[in-house]
Amino acid sequence: MSNPAKAVSELFSTHLGDRATLLGVHRGVPTLEVAVDNWLEVCRILREEPQLGFEQLTDLCGVDYLGYGQTEWETDEATSEGFSRGVEALGPGRFNWSQRPESEGIEQRFAVVVHLMSYANNRRIRLRCFAPDEGLPIVPSLIDIWRSADWYEREAFDLFGIVFEGHPDLRRIMTDYGFTGHPFRKDFPLIGNVAVRYDPERKRVVYEPVEIEPRVLVPRVIRDDSRYQPDDIDQSVSQLASEKAE
CA-based nearest residue to 63, from 203, 160, 140, 133: 160
Distances (CA, A) of 24 to 12, 28, 45, 195, 208: 12, 10, 20, 43, 48
Amino acid identity of residue 125, one-letter, is I
Do 6 and 240 touch, CB atoms closer than 8 A? yes
Distances (CA, A) of 246 to 5, 241, 242, 243: 18, 9, 6, 5
Amino acid identity of residue 164, one-letter, is F
pLDDT in tens, the chain (246 residues): 455 556 777 888 899 999 999 998 888 899 999 999 999 999 999 999 999 999 999 999 999 998 777 666 666 666 666 555 556 556 655 666 566 666 666 778 999 999 999 999 999 999 999 999 888 999 999 999 999 999 999 999 999 999 999 999 999 999 887 788 899 998 887 777 788 889 999 999 898 888 877 666 555 555 566 655 666 556 665 666 666 666
In sequence order, what E strands does 104-183 have? 110-118, 123-130, 138-140, 163-165
Residue spans of the domains in the chain: they are 3-69+82-215
- What is 3-69+82-215's CATH topology? Beta Polymerase; domain 2 (3.30.460)
CA-based nearest residue to 191, from 102, 103, 109, 90: 90
